[in-house]
Amino acid sequence: MANRYGKILVVDDDEDVLLAVSLLLKNHFSTVHTEKNPGKIGTLLRNETYDVVLLDMNFNRDTTSGSEGFYWLNKILQIDPSVVVILITAYGDVEMAVRAIKEGATDFVLKPWQNEKLIATISAALKLRQARNKAEQFRTQRQQLNADIDQNFQEIIGNSPAMLRVYEMIQKVSLTDANVLILGENGTGKELVARAIHRQSLRFDKVFISLDMGAISESLFESELFGHVRGAFTDAKEDRIGRFEVASGGTLFLDEIGNLPLSLQAKLLQVIQNREVIRVGSHKQRPIDIHLICATNMPIYEMISENHFRQDLLYRINTVEIQLPSLHERKEDIPLLIDRFLAMFVKKYHKKVKAVGPATMNKLQKYRWPGNVRELQHAIECAVIMSDTTILRPQDFLLSSRETRAEGLYFDDLSLNTVEKVVIQKALHKNEGNISRAARELGLTRAALYRRMEKYGI
């Protein structure tokens, strides 16, 4: 059966040989080029990429020694080290074959060849070429991965003094397996910091597992984190590995840990202390090896004084504590963030927006950004989508009305959607962006509040 792939170059000074091999190979491979003059090899290889080169060992000047073949073999490999070369000659012997392989040839065939054997030899050479291409692709990807890792904070944008202190703490804690607690308002980039710590740690090539503690119901908490065995409860139809075991060897990021009910904090504390889990329905202790990073936007120390969070759990999870600044506390980073988001969304939505005007930039820098970087990103995205100009104008951002409405219950109109949106903004502002507390005050679940925030673009 024809392979119908592979680009083959045949170099031989015998025109009859070139004709015969061309008629044979064109039925089996996608492209077959022939060349009588070896002096043109350099030009051919620079203009085309060949998978396999069939190279005659002897040309007119030298009919038996094979020295010309070795000369051109070296030239070919200098131009394209990954190309597969098969040497052909009517005057071969074992010594010449061994030398050919040592100097970089893949195989060695004698004239006159058997058609089936030549096709099989070239097919095997094509597979080697593919393997070399994949190896090169993997090497390149690995280099890019290492380059990305070396760019320590490519996802975190900012060079303000406040962010430089954060970078310094990330670098120091990444050298250890110390438990880390990241504190900061919603939208400040807590998960980005956690991922940066992971990328720079010795566990960078292992798994990073992220889990929102506020999104797990109490009934599923143990099963989700610690796993369960078959038959442990009604719907447990098979064994399941919990997040702690999945993350073993790598990093486990527990986001919104301040939302964990007091009744479940003791169970989490025990696992962190003992570094082992017991799946629901089992008595077998399973050791875990994780780098634990936690985060919350809640006032964790106030919660301890109000008996809403265990002090001993806090001591366990915050060997090192990183406090992220709000965007209002690092206003000098706003232009950098705007440039990044603008470039991202212009490319995504194929818009012609080129820049933010000076008056617009002034407006954006004066705004307090209660939703922090996440709110800025959303505002830029919305402005890019809606704008029909190349320069974003102040009127493309309705920030002042947002902020005014967050301060008091003022309505431009009395439609139910407007009223609901303003009330939600007021609750979020009052609770400093804390979703859980705002949801409780509004009489909603966290999920319901998130849906409404998404609906109104908050």
Based on the fold, state whether residues 378 and 260 are members of the same structural domain: no
Separation CA 314–CA 306 (nearest Å): 14
For residues 83-100, give the mean pLDDT: 76
> How sure is the predictor about 151, in pLDDT bands with cuts at 50, 70 and 90?
very low
pLDDT for the residue 153: 47
Among all chains, which residue has been given the structure tokens 């840990």?
257
Last residue of a domain, which of 265, 294, 323? Answer: 323
- Higher-confidence residue: 402 or 29? 29
Query: Does one domain contain both 196 and 228?
Result: yes
Shortest CA distance to 259 belongs to which of 229, 217, 287? 217
- Residue at 155 is within a domain: no
Are both 137 and 125 inside the same structural domain?
A: yes
CATH of the domain at 319: 3.40.50.300
H or E stretch including 77?
helix 67-79
**Per residue in 159-212, pLDDT tens?**
999 999 999 999 999 999 999 999 999 999 999 999 999 999 999 988 899 999
- Do 367 and 406 fall into the same domain? yes
Please tell me the predicted confidence (pLDDT) of residue 250: 93
Is 15 in the same domain as 92?
yes
Q: Are residues 293 and 372 located together in one domain of the fold?
A: no
Side chain identity, residue 447: A
Enclosing domain of residue 182: 161-323
Does one domain contain both 205 and 292? yes
| Residue 274 in this model has a pLDDT that exceeds 90 | yes
- b/e map 302-322, b = 16+ CB within 10 Å: ebeeeebbbeebbebbbebeb
- Our count of domains for the chain comes to 3
Residue 338 resides in a domain: yes
The residue among 363 and 426 whose pLDDT is bigger is 363
Q: Does 302 reside within a domain?
A: yes
CATH code of residue 408: 1.10.8.60
Beta bridge partners of 323: 183
Q: Kindly state whether residues 341 and 315 are assigned to the same domain.
A: no
- Window from 38-42, 153-157, 202-206 with minimum mean pLDDT: 153-157
163-175 pLDDT tens trace: 999 999 999 999 9
C-alpha distance from residue 90 to each of 111, 197, 336, 420, 448 (Å): 5, 63, 68, 89, 81
The CATH number of residue 110's host domain is 3.40.50.2300
Structural domain includes residue 86 = yes
Question: What pLDDT does residue 174 have?
Answer: 94
Least confident of 42-51, 58-67, 378-387: 58-67
Where does a domain end: 93, 110, 142? 142
**Is 406 inside any structural domain?**
yes
Dist CA 171 CA 200 (whole Å):
7
Least confident of 79-88, 348-357, 366-375: 79-88
Structure-token match 């996608």, residue found: 30
Is residue 387 domain-shared with residue 443, that is, in the same domain?
Answer: yes
Q: For residue range 8-26, list pLDDT tens digits in order.
A: 999 988 888 889 889 999 8
CA distance 160 to 256: 26
Residues 181 and 136 in one domain: no
248: CB partners within 8 A, 6+ apart: 287, 288, 289, 290
Binned at pLDDT 50, 70 and 90, residue 83 comes out as confident
- Whether 177 and 120 map to the same domain: the answer is no
Tell me if 131 is assigned to some domain: yes
**Token pair in block for residue 355:** 């820049």
Q: In this structure, is residue 154 part of a structural domain? A: no
Residue 92: pLDDT band with limits 50, 70, 90: low
Q: Can you give the pLDDT at residue 73?
A: 87
Residues 67 and 179 in one domain: no
392 three-class SS = strand
Q: End of a domain among 323, 343, 377?
A: 323
> Does residue 149 fall inside a structural domain?
no
